Structure 1
Amino acid sequence: MKEGYIIRDQDKAHFITTTVVDWIDAFTRKEYRDVVINSLNYCINNKHMLLYGYVIMSNHVHLIVQSKNGKLSDLIRDFKKFTARTILEKIMEEPESRKEWMLERFKNATKTHARNKNYQFWRYGNHAEEIYSEKFLWSKLDYIHLNPVRAGIVKKASEYLYSSATNYIDGKGILENIELATNPVIDVLRTSPFLKYE
């Protein structure tokens, strides 16, 4: 997506939104949400990901993420590629009442882009917004954590399992290696840990 949401500084933390093609409610199924969780966990442990916050909604995912090695675009690309391939395999191989309809939508999405030949699960672009201050970070964390509340899924953010809200409120969540904003990785050369990671 070239409309002003480009990751210009690969070292800085960004608020990322990645959306399923046609806003299809893929993540109403636990097995597809779990693919995202497992992939995030893998990226944290093996691909230099710092994850400050996340939420998995029915048709999109919000992340506040940073790359320890300054390759954020590559990290997001690999995350989306792996999750798309794995979820598409599950749709094709496991029981899914919406299989034909979903695959048709994912197939149609490839007609406007040459990158994917068979199916496209995620929309192109990440709506990336650089985290430029601690105040902006907290506004995005609040936005992420209150998403399920605004959607009427839960009454309190901490009740939603597929979010980092429980990490911040209870100190634990389904993803254990969240980089809490109260204890961020700090660059000693700057005053804010979200301006640069070295």
Structure 2
Amino acid sequence: MRRSTTVRKPSGSLSGRLAAFYRRHEAVILRVSVGLLYVWFGVLKFFPALSPAEGVALRAMTTMTFHFISPDICRPALATMEVLVGLGLILGAYPRLTLTVFLVHMAGVFSTLAILPGEVWRHPFVPSLEGQYILKNLVLVAGCLSAAAAGAAKRHGLREAQGLGGANPPWGESVAPEGIGGQLWGDGRPATTNRLRSVAAVPPARSAEG
């Protein structure tokens, strides 16, 4: 009689389990982290003189609008934009619009380096405190783009598994409301594409005797 033996799979270490958990949810963690910072800093701008970046941000906005828009309008407008972008990132809602507004906002932020050089640079390649505050946004851009890329990669894998093939547009196809967040951000939620909804069921074959 052959003696059966049971081989137990060794349990992973805590660091291994944490690493595996992060790999599964890295896109969500990056997206929510950037969103929380956006909401936090955006809320501060609703209160005058509370945000340390308020002064340079308002001067940059008024310069970009050729002083057509007053700082009293620029401040709440900028605060509202940042809060809405942050909520879009946290909730994973309207990913195309959220990412577009995010990139537009970042383009305006980095343009400050050229618009107000006397305030953001002490010497060439030596930023002031305000300049450092602007340059650290490179990390936010990288994090948000990484989350979007991971979501697109997951969606591409789903399309391959479903045998859809074809082009893989970076921002996804039209989806039902329940799939809005997962199309770009890759949250693992089911997304029903128009192509899937258009596939008709194959009718049963007729009997030869009928």
Q: Which has the higher strand share?
A: 1
Instruction: Answer yes or no: same fold by TM over 0.5.
Output: no
Which structure has the larger Rg over C-alpha atoms? 2
Query: TM-score, normalising length from structure 1?
Result: 0.28
Considering Cα pairs closer than 8 Å and 6+ residues apart, tell me whether 1 or 2 has the greater RCO: 1
